[in-house]
Structure 1
Amino acid sequence: MRRYIPFPRIEGTASRQAHADLPPGTYEREIGKEGFFGPATHMYHRHPPTGWLGWEGPLRPRAFDLVRDLPAAAGPWQARPVLSNAHTALRIWQCDTAMDHLVRNGDGDELVFVHQGAGDLFCDYGHLAVEAGDYVVLPRGTMWRLVPHRPVTALLVEATGSTYQLPDRGMVGPHAVFDPAVLDTPAINDAFLAQQDHAGPDGIWRVAVKRGGRLSTVSYPFNPLDAVGWKGDLAPVRLNVRDIRPLMSHRYHLPPSAHTTFVADRFVVCTFTPRPFETDEGALKVPFFHNNDDYDEVLFYHAGDFFSRDNIKAGMLTFHPCGFTHGPHPKALARAFRQSKEATDEYAVMLDTRDALEVAPGLEAVELAAYAESWRTR
């Protein structure tokens, strides 16, 4: 267990409360440890901490239009790689026709976030209807395939070698954010039983198994999704973003960690959903400037009006490596203590990773090259 020496001090001109009642003419910057859970200091500056003139080097903030020129792929193993480290891998996948084979991830749990489209997911455990806004957690080793009704675009987040779990919600209790009762599991229903008699190509069902990043193929003379029942507490689960009821404070801008949806080994997945703006006159109403020096931060924009970013649209992804200050764009900063709207209108998926992420080769083809300059005010 890490032990820090607690010694809160105030030096010079500062606010008594983080993210509220900033001294006139100052900009607040949080320097924190352990992704908003550890010790932190709030600095008060005369100039916006992101008021840089330019950026050089690999730590620059980056943005990618993941759905631009995205080709359809036969299965998730052919999806476009995005970011990865030893503990997680992100891919973006477009599936417009029914998969004619099954897949099985032997490397870790798979989190499928459906960005666009709808369809039927069949797996060992049964049938799940999926649509835009659905998270589907597929435990390691689950066999599955997707049959789209409308072309599906999905963000795939692999928890390499680990298991997705729900976060500890502490003093707000286990039913806050979303009640676990809203998690749906696959059903052994008529749709699932009917697909068991479907013949595979040439009468053979093939399963593409990924292990250690390499693929093997297992062939069956029958559909191996032939279960007639199951019992236990290990199964895929589905959660739609509409069922997430975010934590809110009228007087304090909560950190991103308050919106954690799933946790895995050395990374977390958070979800931003519509919520009322803070009503306290002195409270910040936009994300605060911060140094997250222990985590890389990734944000995938799903739908809505992304109030803290300019020129960002649905299907884009931003990547902020740890080690530099970031925060709202200038237009959003101008609304830091006032908002013309009553609530946010955005859905986004955030990934915070404890270990550095690597950008997949070739992703520069869909990069917004000038993103690092978008904070410039002159």
Structure 2
Amino acid sequence: MVFYVKQGVMPESRHTYEDRNKLRREELFGEESFDGPYSLLYHIHEPTRVKKFISKEIQKETLDDSPYSHRHLKTSDIPRNGTIIDGKVTILMNDRIKVQILKPEKNTMDFYRNGIYDMLLFVHNGKGKLISVLGDIEFGPRDYIYIPKGLTFRIECSKESYFLIFQSKDDITLPRRYLNLYGQIKEGSPYYTRNIRVPILQKPKDETGNYQVFVELDNNMVIEERDYNPLDVEGWDGYLYPYAINTDIMAPIVGKIHMPPPVHETFSSRSMMVGTFLPRKFDFNSKSIPISYYHNNIDVDEFLFYSSGNFMSRKGIEPGSVTLHVRGIIHGPQPGAVENAIGKEGTDEVAVMIETYDHLFLTKKGKEIEDPDYSKSWFQ
């Protein structure tokens, strides 16, 4: 839930009508049954009108069985493939979360709906448009795009587009500590309400034809064959919708000495915390060591996606690199990094972090792009 949005035409009161001869078809689109955030959508056609359902089994992600260790994955080695529907490559996962890379090789006119997971996309490269029943959102490099589970949409994007995707069975929200009692984003947070870009509702498409909606349900894809365009919404209001926010306008929090990763939190769910490391001034104590501690992640696994800039605590890192530092095994700056950090006044890095409360497992697809020597990089 972010803030209330109202677009298009609708009755004065919910679940009422204005003209019996021209009824709008009211859909309640919500999470957590009837207890979570929701929006009301007003369709021209009945949203239940489906000619045919086709069920296809999705190939299940298989886990790698190599030993438990820190890892470096080179996602730039993943080839282009498919679309948002079938091109997502899962590299890490657990029972609540999937971490994926998408490098689509084409656009599609077919629609997609994730029936199980909230989705959070980070645009590493490229630009385009999210086209949904609630409206359009244009996006570009370093945008986050939040897509709630159950939303019908498609994506048009440029040929160089490259996305990091988190899928979460638990709702992805703004961190509660950033919100006041009234739901406003508080002063001192890294972004503000006006930085959030909501979908812009387009003129409804009252069109007939052959349309497909691919609904992903864990290991099955259900294809809805429809005889009308799903983009037939005349109006909607509520608190559940996709939105985008660009990291360039965020204000990273800095301090006199090293600030811990939670101060860079951007989103949260019950199963993970999402943080963003951004260009910023370093610590202003004259004798500060502006680099992370050596540390164990006793209760979390730590994932980092390196998007751009100089990552001075890591050697061998490139744009598109992923590191996974697992709980219980110490890690931190590599040899020489602490000495090199002293006296540095800032960083130009852009990196996305998640900390997961359950262990993240490497998939066989992830194993294919692993740097096998990374776990030895602290011993020189």
Would you call these one fold, judging by a TM-score over 0.5?
Answer: yes
1:122 aligned residue:
131
CA distance 1:275–1:198, shift in 2 (3 Å):
farther
**Does 1:182 pair with 2:214?**
no
CA RMSD of aligned residues (A): 2.0
**Does 1:193 pair with 2:203?**
yes
Post-superposition offset of 1:281: 2.3
**Does 1:288 pair with 2:293?**
yes
| 1:132-170 CA distance string (max 9 Å, x none) | 101011111011111113431111101114343334138
CA distance in 2, matches of 1:68, 1:217: 31
| 1:97-137 CA distance string (max 9 Å, x none) | 22221111111211111111011110121001111101011
CA distance in 1, matches of 2:258, 2:179: 19
**Does 1:362 pair with 2:368?**
no
| 1:60-116 CA distance string (max 9 Å, x none) | 210011121422222244311111111111110012422221111111211111111
**Does 1:346 pair with 2:349?**
yes
Q: Which amino acid aligns with 2:262?
A: S
| 1:270-317 CA distance string (max 9 Å, x none) | 000011111212222111111111000000011111121111011110
2:162 aligned residue:
153
Question: Normalised by the size of structure 2, how large is the TM-score?
Answer: 0.77
1:79 aligned residue:
88
**Does 1:169 pair with 2:169?**
no
CA distance 1:293–1:227, shift in 2 (3 Å):
same
Are the equivalent residues in 2 in contact too, given 1:273–1:348 (CA < 8 A)? yes
Q: Which amino acid aligns with 1:141?
A: G
1:133 aligned residue:
142
- Please list, as runs of the form range in 1=range in 2, the aligned pairs for 1:217-232 lying within 5 A after superposition: 217-232=223-238
- Match for 1:210 among 209, 216, 225? 216
- Please list, as runs of the form range in 1=range in 2, the aligned pairs for 1:1-378 lying within 5 A after superposition: 58-169=67-178, 173-174=186-187, 176-188=189-201, 192-193=202-203, 196=205, 203-249=209-255, 251-339=256-344, 342-377=345-380
SS at match of 1:181: helix
Q: Which amino acid aligns with 1:61?
A: H
CA distance in 2, matches of 1:88, 1:95: 21
Moved more, 207-216 or 129-138: 207-216
In structure 2, list runs of 5 or more residues that go unmatched. 1-65
Are the equivalent residues in 2 in contact too, given 1:79–1:92 (CA < 8 A)? yes
**Equivalent pairs: percent with the same residue?**
29
| 1:200-225 CA distance string (max 9 Å, x none) | xxx42111111233210101122202
Are the equivalent residues in 1 in contact too, given 2:81–2:87 (CA < 8 A)? no
SS at match of 1:258: helix
CA distance 1:65–1:198, shift in 2 (3 Å):
farther
SS at match of 2:237: coil
CA distance 1:279–1:89, shift in 2 (3 Å):
same
In structure 1, list runs of 5 or more residues that go unmatched. 1-56
